Structure 1
Amino acid sequence: MRIRDFSLELARPLETAKGSISERTGFLVAVEHEGTLGVGEATPLPGWTESLEDCRVALDSVSDPGSALGDGSLDDTPAARHAVSLALTDATARAENESLATSLATKSHTSLPVNATIGDGDIETTVTDAETAVSVGFDCLKVKVGARDPTDDIERLRAVRDAVGSDISIRADVNGAWDRWTADEFLSGVADFDLEYLEQPLPADEIAGHAVLRRLHDTPLALDESLAHVSPERALASNAADVLVCKPMALGGPDHVLSVAKQAARSNVDVVVTTTIDAVVARLGALHVAAALPSTRAHGLATASLLQGDLAAEPVPVVDGSMTVPDAPGLGIDVDDLF
């Protein structure tokens, strides 16, 4: 197993309720499996995953990648586990001369709709960014909220809805910034906005609170950060969400996302796959995983433009709000270009 460290700056800081994100730092991992080389990525994001330091320690401790996945030694370091799991999955698909998505599912999507991410700017900036996204083909917008007074966020979303019209899907992402009363006030204020869903309004461990909000309001709820703090079984059993937002990096790899998706389907809960603003390897991995799921919702994979640069040329540009799934073996990227 080979490890390469990297650091990438964002094109501009992304403002969220948890603070500003200005760079992404992590590790590429190359694993040889049965004579075939596969590649994975670990890009930790504290709050969702382990720290960068703990990630490196965990990767350095791996002597047998396959055994490390099976024995649970990487379960407490999901970004490190993601890198190893993705690399092994990539190597297996390459050896079978199949795309990663095809190797994961008997029937997979060949293209997927994706959402545009709109940062937590003022009303004018938010509307401009939303209109720009729609003008280039996006029909789903994910707007960051939660850092402001909820009445200000309500007005931001009202302005976006008025600007883009009723045919555009709008999601709002709080990143767990509110208490139950603030979330209740906000949900009452946006009841007529036809939001696709409100994502993570309460802190990650407030599963019961999310369940209460879901009973009281018609706007669907999605859980994201909660899945890094409680088991999917608990989240589903609590009837706390209509949608689970699954970050392969935070959940520990493609295999864990597929497992969560199967559990969610049994509870009639949908799954949306998103990145943690990752580099090209993890983004491709997330795209293939999303393509292996039955969901037809827009996924949160259009994050390449948030980076100032990348580890390799983007093989899957967003066109008219959609991404085509590579049909080349494995991830669809040349490992030699990365190491």
Structure 2
Amino acid sequence: MPSPALPPLADLLAVAHVVSLPLTTRFRRIDTREAVVFRGPEGATEFSPFVEYGDDEAATWLAAAIDFGWRTQPSPLRDRIRVNATVPAVDASRVPEVLALYDGCRTAKVKVAEAGQVLADDVARVRAVRRELGAEGRIRVDANGGWNVDEAEHAVHSLAEFDLEYVEQPCATIDELAELRERLHDWDIPIAADESVRRADDPLAVARAGAADLLVIKAQPLGGIHSALDIVREAGLPVVVSSALDTSVGLSMGAWLAASIPSLDFDCGLGTASLLAADVTARPLRAVGGFIDVGRVDLDEERLTQHAASPERDAWWRARIRRCYESLSERS
């Protein structure tokens, strides 16, 4: 699909608000989430690639922000999305506290393979989640590519007693995923690909290689809703729509994407507003009865002011926008 014309850079910067939001618990080794939200002609939108990402990768996130804020979106097929709880790599004793943040969620994604931890920590955490959710609850684990094939096979065997829904990105490469999937053939534990989709030069390569049973799809890293829907159609695999610790604005983009996919069999990873101690709207997009609503989020001026990033960080993000915009202009 051809890229639509970019709005003028000056227009983007004029409606940009750089915020720094505290987290309820440490996640991805950060305590504060920085993001840029814009008031576009179609509504609020977000640009929030993690700070360690290079400009070329981050430019795709800017394309997503422009897509959602400056372009008409597909008509949603549903008005609410069932979401999962997300459990960071916390001590098992904190699991009840974390799950209490997610009203009515029947599914939990549990982070595993955290640097500085061992498999016993993962097992204890997942066991605590199973205890809280009960036999009917659904548990998926996410290693963010942190295991090699042997480690992943051993870990999955150790966690299998907790009736895993699937294992997300257990290994870093497509070849490793394919090998692990073959080794787990008789275990009936699906493999989901995340980084192998959103951080790949070719997001469809993992599907073509038969290296995953389902794909984790995120609107921002894939260039927006229109681009992500193209990938879903071409991949031909079941998908889970997820987020990247977005503000409620970014989550609304993900919810709109999820609502535009005809077949949505899995609870989506769009409940992470509960990990934010502050947000950019008076009505954060948190789970209620296990669901979040589909629709636009209204930015709140008081919160934008209260959580505005420091002048130095504001300047850093605006310079990043300029560089990413230049990259998008060159692509066009």
Give the alignment's TM-score, normalised by structure 1.
0.76
1:251 to partner: Cα distance: 1.2
1:133 to partner: Cα distance: 5.4
- Quick one: which amino acid aligns to residue 86 of structure 2? T
Hey, what's the Cα distance between the residues in 2 that align with 1:254 and 1:335?
24
SS of residue in 2 equivalent to 1:289: helix
Q: Is the 8 A contact 1:120 1:126 kept in 2?
A: no
Q: Is the 8 A contact 2:280 2:299 kept in 1?
A: no
1:198 to partner: Cα distance: 0.8
Matching residue of 2:211: 240
Matching residue of 2:112: 145
Hey, what's the Cα distance between the residues in 2 that align with 1:290 and 1:157?
27
Matching residue of 1:14: 26
1:242 to partner: Cα distance: 1.5
| 1:161-183 residue CA offsets vs partner (Å, 9 max, x unmatched) | 23422200001111111111110
Q: Is the 8 A contact 1:316 1:325 kept in 2?
A: no
Tell whether 2:10 aligns with 1:43. Answer: no
Q: Is the 8 A contact 1:8 1:309 kept in 2?
A: no
1:212 to partner: Cα distance: 1.3
Tell whether 2:193 aligns with 1:223. Answer: yes
Hey, what's the Cα distance between the residues in 1 that align with 2:297 and 2:23?
25
Q: Is the 8 A contact 2:281 2:297 kept in 1?
A: no
Matching residue of 2:94: 125
Q: Is the 8 A contact 2:84 2:267 kept in 1?
A: yes
Matching residue of 2:36: 27
SS of residue in 1 equivalent to 2:139: strand
Hey, what's the Cα distance between the residues in 2 that align with 1:202 and 1:116?
22
- Residues 317 and 163 of structure 1, relative CA distance in 2, 3 Å threshold: closer
Tell whether 2:283 aligns with 1:278. Answer: no
1:125 to partner: Cα distance: 1.6
1:31 to partner: Cα distance: 4.2
What root-mean-square deviation, in Å, do the aligned CA atoms of Structure 1 and Structure 2 show? 2.5
Q: Structure 1, unaligned stretches of length 5 or more?
A: 55-73, 93-102
| 1:32-75 residue CA offsets vs partner (Å, 9 max, x unmatched) | 4xxxx54421111156xx44xx4xxxxxxxxxxxxxxxxxxx87
SS of residue in 2 equivalent to 1:252: coil
Give the alignment's TM-score, normalised by structure 2.
0.78
SS of residue in 1 equivalent to 2:253: helix
Identity %: 30
1:296 to partner: Cα distance: 3.1
SS of residue in 2 equivalent to 1:6: strand
Tell whether 2:210 aligns with 1:210. Answer: no
SS of residue in 1 equivalent to 2:268: coil
Q: Is the 8 A contact 1:82 1:252 kept in 2?
A: yes
- Residues 127 and 304 of structure 1, relative CA distance in 2, 3 Å threshold: closer
Q: Is the 8 A contact 1:8 1:308 kept in 2?
A: no
- Quick one: which amino acid aligns to residue 248 of structure 2? V
Matching residue of 1:174: 143
Residue-pair matches, total: 285
- Residues 129 and 220 of structure 1, relative CA distance in 2, 3 Å threshold: same
- Quick one: which amino acid aligns to residue 81 of structure 1? A
